[in-house]
Structure 1
Amino acid sequence: MKAALLKSYGDVDQFEIADIPAPKPGPGEVLIKIEASAVNPFDLVLRQGFMAQFIPLPLPAVLGGDAAGAISALGEGVTGFAVGDRVVADFPANGKGAHAEYGVVAATSVAKLPAELSFEQGASLVKAGLTGRQTVEALGVKAGDRVLVSGGLGTVGRAAIQYLKQIGAKPVAGVRRERLSEGRDVAGEALDITIPAATPSFDYAISAAGPVAGNLISHVRDGGHVASVVPVPEGANAGNHVNIIELYHRTDAATLDAVLESAVRGQLVIPISHTFTLDQIGAAQKAVAAGAPGKVVLKH
């Protein structure tokens, strides 16, 4: 099968499109013929080796965490799926990822893709949809609560904002000044997150943009709660005046089902800003690095 192999840690010139043996599913796994996969910022971190101490990749490695395609084979003991089912899958960062023609993943990381959604849409929803929803759930917000979301126009931020709306909360998009109008279009209310708050006015916030994480914390009242998917700058929470919940995306097929159902109902929309082919993996990663305003997707 054709795969985008990362030969060594480094720049995008370390990718090579090569033919490698197709994997076979083991017990509890499924083999997916991948039609589309998404490129996430975390892929760039992995490629450059910044996480090698914690997530060592077996080089050459195949990156890619979000995939959509059709089940090609079932491993022993798998139930609830059939060969030919259209699915999305949340691949782990183990060097056997989704940027290939076929991929093997645990059946517990797979959800059926509704007919109303394309493969490209499905691939764009996986980690962004899961992470956005999980940040909201971690805060325990309820209808009527006002929640500040930094990175409100990023994919995770958009997913969080749209889920907040879905449960009746009141999201506020934290964006750069020049994007305030876009932020209001998405959330209904927006503020310039590049400016620290003179007086905090939020009890809840979601931190999804690293460069402004300190500014976001300044908007939260003493005793408030922040769900953060980015590193919190040292000293930003002096005296631990707010409660910070550090989150890392987790695989959850039931939540993924709910994400896809929201997309079908039009309650969750993640824009796709760039579409490349698998052999354009380098250009796709460059687009992510340049701050693509939506999801970057590879068509296989």
Structure 2
Amino acid sequence: MKAALLKAYGDVDQFEIGDIPTPQPGPGEVLIKIEASAINPFDLILRQGFMAQLIPLSLPAALGGDAAGTVAGLGAGVTRFAVGDRVVADFAANGRGANAEYGVVPATSAAKLPANLSFEQGAALVKAGLTGRQTVDALGIKRGDHVLVSGGLGSVGRAAIQYLKEIGARPVAGVRAKRLDEARALAGEALDINAPVTQPDFDYGISTAAPVAANLIGRVRDGGQVVSIVPVPVGANAAGRVTILELYHRTDAPTLDAVLEAASRGELVIPVAQTLSLEQIGAAHRAVASGAQGKIVLKH
């Protein structure tokens, strides 16, 4: 099968399109014919080798954590899916990722893709949708709670805001001043995340944008809680004013089902900024690095 392979850690010139054996599903696994995969910032970190000590890859490796396609084979014991089902899948960072024609995942890492969503839309929803919901759940948010979300127009921020609205909380999108109108249309309330902090007035914060993490923390009251998916700057939480929870997404099929249902109802939209071919994976990584407004998706 064809795959985009990382030959060595480094820049995008280390990618090559090559042929590798098509994987076969083991017990409890599904084989997916991948139609689209999305590029996440974490893929860039893996490519450059910054995680090599914690997540060593056997090179050449296929990256890519988010995919959509059709079930092409079933391992023993799998009953949730049938061959031909349209699905999305959350691939592990193990060098056998979604930037390939076929991929194998545990059946618990896949979910059925609603008929009214395209493969490109499905691929864009996976890790962003999971992470957005898991940030909210980590804080134990209740109906009526006022929650500041930095990076509110990013993929994870959008998913978190949608979920906050779904459960009856009051999200506030923290964005740059020039995007306030767009953010208000999404969340209902918005603020300039770069404006000086005068008075901390939030009990909860969700931090999804590293450059403004300190600004978000400064807006949370003493004793409040922040969940962060980005590094927290040293000194940003002076004297431990707030409780900070660091979160990395976990695979969770029921949550992924809920993400897809929300998207199917039109309540969650993760914009796709650009669709490229698998052979253009280098350009896709560069687009993510440049701060593309929306997901970069590879059509296989």
Name the TM-score class by shorter chain.
over 0.9
Partner of 2:70: 70
Partner of 1:54: 54
Partner of 1:185: 185
Partner of 1:176: 176
Say whether the 8 Å CA contact 1:196–1:218 is kept in structure 2: no
Structure 2: tracts of 5 or more residues without a match: none
Q: Confirm or deny that 1:246 pairs with 2:246.
A: yes
Per the alignment, in what secondary structure is the counterpart of residue 23 of structure 1?
coil
What amino acid maps onto 1:5 in structure 2? Answer: L
Partner of 1:261: 261
Say whether the 8 Å CA contact 2:36–2:298 is kept in structure 1: yes
Per the alignment, in what secondary structure is the counterpart of residue 115 of structure 2?
coil
Partner of 2:30: 30
Per the alignment, in what secondary structure is the counterpart of residue 292 of structure 2?
coil
After TM superposition, the structure 1 = structure 2 runs for residues 89-104 of structure 1, keeping only pairs within 5 Å, are 89-104=89-104
After TM superposition, the structure 1 = structure 2 runs for residues 119-158 of structure 1, keeping only pairs within 5 Å, are 119-158=119-158
Per the alignment, in what secondary structure is the counterpart of residue 77 of structure 1?
coil
Q: 1:239-285: CA deviations, max 9, x gaps?
A: 11101111110000010001000011111111111100100000111
Deviation at 1:140, TM superposition (A): 0.9
Per the alignment, in what secondary structure is the counterpart of residue 50 of structure 2?
coil
Say whether the 8 Å CA contact 2:63–2:93 is kept in structure 1: yes
Structure 1: tracts of 5 or more residues without a match: none
Q: 1:117-172: CA deviations, max 9, x gaps?
A: 11111101000000000001111111111100001110000110111111111111
Partner of 1:211: 211
Partner of 1:276: 276
Say whether the 8 Å CA contact 2:80–2:107 is kept in structure 1: no
Deviation at 1:195, TM superposition (A): 2.9
What amino acid maps onto 1:77 in structure 2? Answer: G
Divergent runs of 4+, >6 A? none
Say whether the 8 Å CA contact 2:205–2:220 is kept in structure 1: yes
Distance 2:53 2:194 in 1: 32
Q: Confirm or deny that 1:8 pairs with 2:41.
A: no
Q: 1:64-115: CA deviations, max 9, x gaps?
A: 0000000101111111111111110000000000000000111110101111
Partner of 1:224: 224
Distance 1:87 1:118 in 2: 10
Segment of structure 1 superposing worse, 161-170 or 191-200: 191-200
Q: How many residues align?
A: 300
Distance 1:163 1:253 in 2: 16
What amino acid maps onto 1:27 in structure 2? Answer: P
Per the alignment, in what secondary structure is the counterpart of residue 191 of structure 1?
strand
What amino acid maps onto 1:188 in structure 2? Answer: G
- Structure-2-length-normalised TM-score: 0.99
Distance 1:16 1:73 in 2: 27
Per the alignment, in what secondary structure is the counterpart of residue 93 of structure 2?
coil
Partner of 2:108: 108
Deviation at 1:196, TM superposition (A): 4.1
Q: 1:22-71: CA deviations, max 9, x gaps?
A: 11111111110000000000000000001111111111000000000001
- Structure-1-length-normalised TM-score: 0.99
Q: 1:164-193: CA deviations, max 9, x gaps?
A: 111111111111111112111211111111
Percent identity of equivalent pairs: 76
Say whether the 8 Å CA contact 1:32–1:71 is kept in structure 2: yes
What amino acid maps onto 2:205 in structure 1? Answer: A
Per the alignment, in what secondary structure is the counterpart of residue 130 of structure 1?
helix
Distance 1:98 1:290 in 2: 22
Say whether the 8 Å CA contact 1:196–1:219 is kept in structure 2: no
Partner of 1:194: 194
